[in-house]
Amino acid sequence: MSSLSEQSALATTLRTDTCGLLRSDDVGRTVRLGGWVHRSRDLGGVVFIDLRDRTGLVQLAFGLAWSDAETLRLAAAVGVESVVLCEGDIVARDADRQNPDMQTGAIEVRVRALRIVGPAVTPALPVARGRGEKVAAEELRLRHRYLDLRRPELQENLVLRHRLLQVSRRYLSERGYLELETPILTKPTPEGARDYLVPSRVHPGEFYALPQSPQIYKQLFMCCGFDRYFQIARCFRDEDLRADRQPEFTQIDIEASFVEREDILALAEGLIGALWLEAGHTIPAHFDRMSYHDAMEYYGCDRPDLRYGLRLADYTAVFAPLAFAVTASAIAAGSRVRGLVVPGGAAWSRKQVDELEALAKGAGAGGLLRLRYADGAYDGPLAKFLTDEARAALALTDGDLALFVAAPDRVASPALDRVRQECARRCALIDETMQRFVVVMDFPMFEEDPATGALAAVHHPFTAPHPEDLVSFPDHPARWRALAYDVVLNGTELGGGSIRISDPAMQSRMFALLGIGSTDEQERRFGFLLEGLRAGAPPHGGIAFGFDRIAMLLAGAPSLRDVIAFPKTTAARSLFEGAPVAVSPDDLAELHLTVTETSA
């Protein structure tokens, strides 16, 4: 929106203009403004007020040459954060009176009339901060959110959020995607995250659930022929919180029919490109693809940060011939020896490497094997076991520190992932300006419980297995890959999706593999999906993006709470309005509920 059209769009009966958009072009105009007193400076015979609205600040000037005595008195007395209406003339400031730090610093408003329409009590926390002054504690910011949201930083975040929503809607709508809504009161699903439950008044003892995602509904839309769907969907998960996880969050939810994986990924690339462009970043039109296998093999995790190297490698063949007990016994037990080489790491102290080992142990590894190569000498527990062949194969450069884990992959990968990330941080290898997108795909269909051998869906139970694997290992579902994909940026998952199962028989088999064996149980829990698939389902698939997380990244905010107007604390409370709360016995009785003592 150009400033001119935005300026006129925001004009009302009470104001002709907004504060932050006034410029030298406006000199000579008479304007009416409304806004909040950001700061004021009373010099006796002349008073200045920085007036703030969502567009920014402008300086109001009061002086007896153009304001009457009563107006000057009011201006000197008005408290910060009060709402005022004023009328005055835009004048150019003399050259030595301009403020280059202010968008509106070349002009000021000589106020002839002032009304305090919304006097404010002294604010509980400051909105205008001095240079270098910290923001108030988050607890106070959340408790006094009506003030916190006045801060220009949060205003910008929420304005950006709005723009990103509009870009999403326009991008998808222009490509034939229909914005369709799905219920908020839905059916509980025992799988996956814990549901938020809502008791039914008219059906004693029965409950709705708030949706964890509109997954099944959007698949049913496909069965209905709404072949391109999207929704800016509010989702709910009753799990513990993190800086990047809220119990109530927004996703851009997308589903399409007659598509294969690359159709969805191309749409995803385009949408992400449009969102990043709106925030001022031009990114590649096409993202790299990486298999889950390679991600785990070379980075130890399924959402690799590709802004730096430090790739993991398999050193089993190097270690196998060595008479080093730790690795020999692990290899004999069927494990591999994997590790990474950190250039310059040889300079780290014993304590610093111990800290890395503690990270690896925290991730479940028994230890972290270190080999330092500096000044032509090898140092570390396995140094004296190295053969010439092993030294040649390792090919270390002077100053290198090599770190190894000898353990099953399920242990070694997460341990090496953490070590790799910490080494990158220490070596300052992370270029914060870099945006490295990658699509990780070919996830395994299931993960096996190491204790029981039971299968659990890695993605969700509606994800289609890879057709090649159905042919190659029809009777070994644990080896199936899924037609699932995640979009990853700099080690953060932006979104994920899959091609879905559209064959009701296959869907039924999938439920059975996941332990929902009986037809009765399948029908009771997922009958509405199976019926839809049986009624004639097109091939379909989709993706969902974590919108709050995207807004956080593009706003450069440290927490999701800074891009959500009224977020929850890590204890899932709303400090501002004060939720949740106990309700009256009458209300409980009407819902056929009793609160037990332990929860009181």
Partner RNA sequence: GGGGGCGUAGCUCAGUUUGGUUAGAGCACUCGACUGUCACUCGAGAGGUCGCGGGUUCGAGCCCCGUCGCUCCCGCCA
Which pair of structure tokens corresponds to residue 198? 């809502």
- Cβ(278)–Cβ(163) under 8 Å? yes
Smallest separation, CB 225 to RNA (Å): 23
Q: Determine if 294 is a binding residue for RNA (CB under 7 A).
A: no
Helix pair 519-534, 504-513: axis angle to 10 deg: 150
- Total site size for RNA, rule CB under 7 A: 73
3-state helix, strand, coil in the chain (%, to 5): 35, 25, 40
**Contact call for residue 99 and RNA (CB under 7 A):** yes
Confirm or reject binding of residue 374 to RNA (CB under 7 A). no
Count how many residues are written for the chain: 600
CA distance 380 to 291: 34
DSSP states of 500-522 as a string? BP--HHHHHHHHHHTT---HHHH
Q: How far is the CB of 513 from RNA (least distance, A)?
A: 13
Is residue 120 involved in binding RNA (CB under 7 A)? Answer: no
Tell me if 104 sits within 8 A of 23, measured CB to CB.
yes
Among 17, 26, 50, 548, binds RNA (CB under 7 A): 50
Strands 336-342 and 400-407: antiparallel
Nearer to RNA, 147 or 382 (CB): 147
Smallest separation, CB 277 to RNA (Å): 28
**How many Cβ atoms are within 10 Å of 382's Cβ, its own excluded?**
20
Cα end-to-end span (Å), the chain? 52
- Measuring CA to CA, which residue among 194, 278, 208 is closest to residue 240? 194
Interaction between residue 157 and RNA (CB under 7 A): no
> Considering only residues 507-566, where is the footprint of RNA by CB under 7 A?
559, 561
Query: Nearest approach, Cβ of 128 to RNA (angstroms)?
Result: 8
Nearer to RNA, 59 or 71 (CB): 59
- Best CA proximity match to 565, nearest among 275, 291, 237, 155: 155
CB nearer RNA, residue 228 or residue 237: 237
Interface with RNA, residue 93, by CB under 7 A? yes
Residue 42 touches RNA, criterion: CB under 7 A? yes
Residues 485 and 291: their CA atoms lie apart, in Å, by 9
Q: Which of residues 555-584 bind RNA (CB under 7 A)?
A: 559, 561, 569-571, 573, 575
Output 63 or 399, the one with its CB closest to RNA. Answer: 63
What span, in angstroms and rounded, lies between the C-alpha atoms of 206 and 545?
Answer: 32
Site for RNA in 440-479 (CB under 7 A): 456-461
| Among the listed residues 48, 226, 566, 576, the single contact to RNA using CB under 7 A | 48
| Footprint of RNA on 121-150 (CB under 7 A) | 122-126, 130-140, 142
Selected range binding RNA among 37-45, 82-90, 195-203, 335-343, rule: CB under 7 A: 37-45
Q: Please list every residue from 181 through 210 that binds RNA, using CB under 7 A.
A: 189, 191-194
Strand order in the sheet with 484-489: 178-179, 228-236, 248-257, 540-546, 492-499, 484-489, 437-441, 288-291
> For RNA, which is the closer residue by CB, 123 or 366?
123
Which residues, 203 to 262, sit near RNA by CB under 7 A?
212-213, 215, 237, 239-245
The least distance separating RNA from the CB of residue 273, rounded to whole angstroms, comes to 26
